[in-house]
């Protein structure tokens, strides 16, 4: 029985390798040079396209946290359409922010969900002490699990407590999604 499982696993891995080699890798680079959120779904107030000093080009996505804003989550999502089970997803992007009172934090995640909307896998990076200058942020590679219906890249800003002193902001740019 154990030998059959190994043989089946070897056959499955070989088929996946052939499928990956025949289809080829896909790379998607997203900036916000269009001036809008084309291909993205921004949820929650505060999301805009900022028109100055981007890391690549002239525009970046920005999520603002107003003084006194209540706790909550703001998200900007992008469907990764080429991410099929067995494929590897790698995401790099540039991020900057101003969170002096530490009332907010940014989280960038690759999330694989099944047809019912249950999270099968999530890899993330959290940043709570940002630099006002863009820095590179890399999400650990995700191997898309069996049963995945959709895979998303999520840019999120979590307001942990109302900002008492000043507004905070987070900017995202030069998003590179590799699927292979």
Q: What are the boundaries of each domain within the chain?
A: 25-179
Q: Residue 105's pLDDT is what? A: 92
pLDDT digits (tens, 9 = 90+) for 41-76: 998 889 999 988 788 888 999 999 988 888 899 999
Over the chain, what is the mean pLDDT?
84
Q: Residue 26's pLDDT is what? A: 75
What mean pLDDT is predicted for residues 73-101?
Answer: 92
- DSSP one-letter code for 37: -
Q: Which of 69, 82, 90 is nearest to 169 (CA)?
A: 69
- More confident position, 147 or 128: 147
Phi and psi at residue 11, to the nearest 5°: -65, -45
Strand partners, 91: 139, 177
Q: How many helices (H) does the chain have, and how many strands (E)?
A: 1, 11
pTM: 0.81
- CB contact set of 24 (below 8 Å; sequence gap of 6+): none
Is residue 127 a contact partner of residue 95, using CB atoms and an 8 Å limit? yes
Q: What percent of the chain has pLDDT over 70?
A: 84
Evaluate if residue 11 carries a pLDDT over 80.
no
Q: Residue 56's pLDDT is what? A: 82
DSSP strands (E only) in the chain: 26-30, 41-43, 47-50, 60-65, 72-79, 88-98, 104-113, 119-127, 135-143, 150-159, 168-179
pLDDT digits (tens, 9 = 90+) for 106-126: 999 999 999 999 999 999 999
Is residue 78 a contact partner of residue 140, using CB atoms and an 8 Å limit? no
Assign domain 25-179 to its CATH architecture: Sandwich (2.60)
What mean pLDDT is predicted for residues 160-167?
Answer: 77
């Amino acid at each position: 029985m154990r030998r059959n499982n190994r043989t089946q696993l070897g056959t499955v891995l070989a088929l996946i390798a052939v499928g990956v080699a025949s289809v080829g890798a896909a790379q998607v680079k997203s900036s916000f040079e269009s001036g809008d959120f084309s291909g993205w779904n921004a949820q929650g107030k505060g999301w805009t396209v900022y028109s100055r000093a981007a890391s690549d080009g002239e525009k970046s996505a920005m999520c603002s946290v107003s003084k006194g804003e209540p706790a909550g989550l703001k998200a900007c999502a992008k469907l990764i359409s080429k991410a099929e089970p067995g494929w590897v997803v790698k995401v790099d992007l540039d991020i900057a922010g101003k969170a002096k009172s530490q009332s907010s934090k940014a989280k960038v995640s690759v999330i694989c969900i099944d047809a019912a909307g249950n999270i099968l896998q999530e890899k993330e990076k959290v940043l709570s002490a940002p630099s006002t200058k863009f820095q590179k942020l890399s999400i650990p590679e995700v191997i898309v699990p069996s049963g995945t219906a959709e895979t998303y890249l999520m840019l999120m800003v979590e307001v942990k407590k109302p900002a008492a002193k000043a507004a905070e902001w987070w900017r995202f740019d030069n998003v590179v999604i590799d699927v292979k």
